[in-house]
Structure 1
């Protein structure tokens, strides 16, 4: 009887081992903390982003998983670009090289370890992150030389905060941040040591979460983001064949803008052209690819205006109204969609007055 109770307990905990990325909040869980996601993107199963289940992940997809935790062979992923619940909203803004607090909520702890990755999408705005891109930046646990947080077993079913080091050479207007949880509740054998036990084998339950963040530059050189080329994946009954083509570069680029010039002293607006540029990208073959994005902005005179997302160059002490609140710019920057004044953009905007009437 006791053995039966233990077996039932193990079975229940094995199927209810759930968790999710809370900060920066995952795409599938954003509806919990941001009301703008609730109408389009409420997903009650957000704690079950486990690659289609352990059996499906390993027996059908050879251990592969989509970047946000959906089954690898799912034709249309809900939370990847093009999916019905993808918004691409920046949920958190950090600074280049910053140590950040990442929060993970576990509703059932199955030991194992966490890993965190980053992919810069600035050179590939029309596509989503790829696992290859994410694997280029496996983030260190702050204060260590390890990319794995192995202290999961020290906690219960609770919120776990992990201090993570962002790269010193990455700044981005849009990066994808990934959390991966490899559980240790499945019996297996280590092929190298031949030791057997929970979590020692190759096949373990895996949870994933991905979120959209921005990383402000601090003036230091940054690595050139890779160009992500979408590929088609063929799924067989027991194996996966993937062809991937990646463009790489050997040089660095800087997040720089040309200075503004005034064409007439009597005009009240200034026209400027900003260039987000990087050197030509060279492939392993004989062909080459170059990419340059040019954005034209209009510099308005100082004074209270409504905040604009149209790539406007705000300067320190500019004042704007947004959502009924008056803000002052504290750091010069270029605006873009999803970077409105508010709690997520505290590094750029400081609220100075609440207004009863919206402008």
Structure 2
């Protein structure tokens, strides 16, 4: 395929993708609650009524940023610290839940508008890295119960349970669990050069939660602020 033809195909794909982005998929991590969703369980947390719309500034903005996204779902071009990163408006570092190490753990995500695609989960151990970074999240890419690192959700909406395996031998006083939802409803160029739905750049959602991972029950009972994750405060969904 010559350069001109390939460039023309890419341009057409980007135009189609923009037309498809008339509505946005929406989702948020609720158990453990992401930083922007903590207010649903903790009255002291700053409120973000748009906590189901952490989509990297939107697909067009994500494309302008070279398909880059903030570590925890903010617009990559935002000034540091971004709102949902440590030191930002919602990134206050409050530990919302503790887990046992090396165990299968059920997490909960709510999808309010489905755009196909898949979930992935990463863990950043701040005890090791002393700060959030791409390298920190890349070290521990969690596996789901079937052993895969991607959980395809089909057309499901509502609450989705995602069972993950925490890394063996890892414990931390402060870890950051990151949920990423990579949509799959855009048409793009696949690795084999053909065009197909779900290939190429896709809209991306992220949410980060501050957690700890312990080896024993004693560690679970150490003085630390934790919240019972039950029924969240409901707010009307934003009309897009």
Q: Deviation string for 1:143-202 (max 9, x for gaps)? A: x2310001x1152x2111111111112100100000000001111110x2233222112x
Are the equivalent residues in 2 in contact too, given 1:14–1:185 (CA < 8 A)? Answer: no
Matched, 1:32 2:40: yes
Q: Deviation string for 1:288-319 (max 9, x for gaps)? A: xxxxxxxxxxxxxxxxxxxxxxxxxxxxxxxx
Are the equivalent residues in 2 in contact too, given 1:13–1:108 (CA < 8 A)? Answer: no
Matched, 1:52 2:57: yes
Aligned match for 1:134, one of 121, 137, 146: 137
Are the equivalent residues in 2 in contact too, given 1:185–1:198 (CA < 8 A)? Answer: yes
Q: 1:161 to 1:333 in 2, by over 3 A?
A: closer
Q: Deviation string for 1:221-267 (max 9, x for gaps)? A: xxxxxxxxxxxxxxxxxxxxxxxxxxxxxxxxxxxxxxxxxxxxxxx
- Counterpart position of 1:16: 24
Q: Which secondary structure state, in structure 1, belongs to the residue aligned with residue 35 of structure 2?
A: coil
Deviation at 1:123, TM superposition (A): 3.8
Aligned match for 1:215, one of 213, 216, 221: 213
Matched, 1:62 2:28: no
Q: Which secondary structure state, in structure 2, belongs to the residue aligned with residue 29 of structure 1?
A: helix
Are the equivalent residues in 1 in contact too, given 2:72–2:85 (CA < 8 A)? Answer: yes
Deviation at 1:116, TM superposition (A): 0.2
| Distance in structure 1 (CA, Å) of the matches to 2:102 and 2:209 | 18
- Counterpart position of 2:4: none
Q: 1:212 to 1:104 in 2, by over 3 A?
A: same
- Counterpart position of 2:90: 85
| Distance in structure 2 (CA, Å) of the matches to 1:206 and 1:20 | 12
Aligned match for 2:117, one of 108, 112, 120: 112
Q: 1:47 to 1:12 in 2, by over 3 A?
A: farther
Q: Which secondary structure state, in structure 1, belongs to the residue aligned with residue 119 of structure 2?
A: strand
| Distance in structure 2 (CA, Å) of the matches to 1:83 and 1:99 | 31
5+ residue gaps, structure 1, are 1-9, 219-329, 345-359
| Distance in structure 1 (CA, Å) of the matches to 2:37 and 2:75 | 17
Are the equivalent residues in 1 in contact too, given 2:129–2:136 (CA < 8 A)? Answer: no
| Distance in structure 2 (CA, Å) of the matches to 1:12 and 1:154 | 17
After the TM superposition, which of the residue ranges 129-138 and 13-22 deviates more from structure 2?
13-22
| Distance in structure 1 (CA, Å) of the matches to 2:223 and 2:77 | 34
Are the equivalent residues in 1 in contact too, given 2:124–2:137 (CA < 8 A)? Answer: yes
Q: Identify the structure with the greater helix proportion.
A: 2
TM-score by length of 1: 0.55
Q: Which has the larger radius of gyration?
A: 1
Deviation at 1:124, TM superposition (A): 4.8
Are the equivalent residues in 2 in contact too, given 1:172–1:217 (CA < 8 A)? Answer: no
Q: 1:343 to 1:25 in 2, by over 3 A?
A: closer
The root-mean-square deviation of aligned C-alpha atoms, in Å, is 2.3
Deviation at 1:16, TM superposition (A): 3.2
Q: Which secondary structure state, in structure 2, belongs to the residue aligned with residue 56 of structure 1?
A: helix
Deviation at 1:331, TM superposition (A): 3.3
| Distance in structure 2 (CA, Å) of the matches to 1:197 and 1:25 | 34
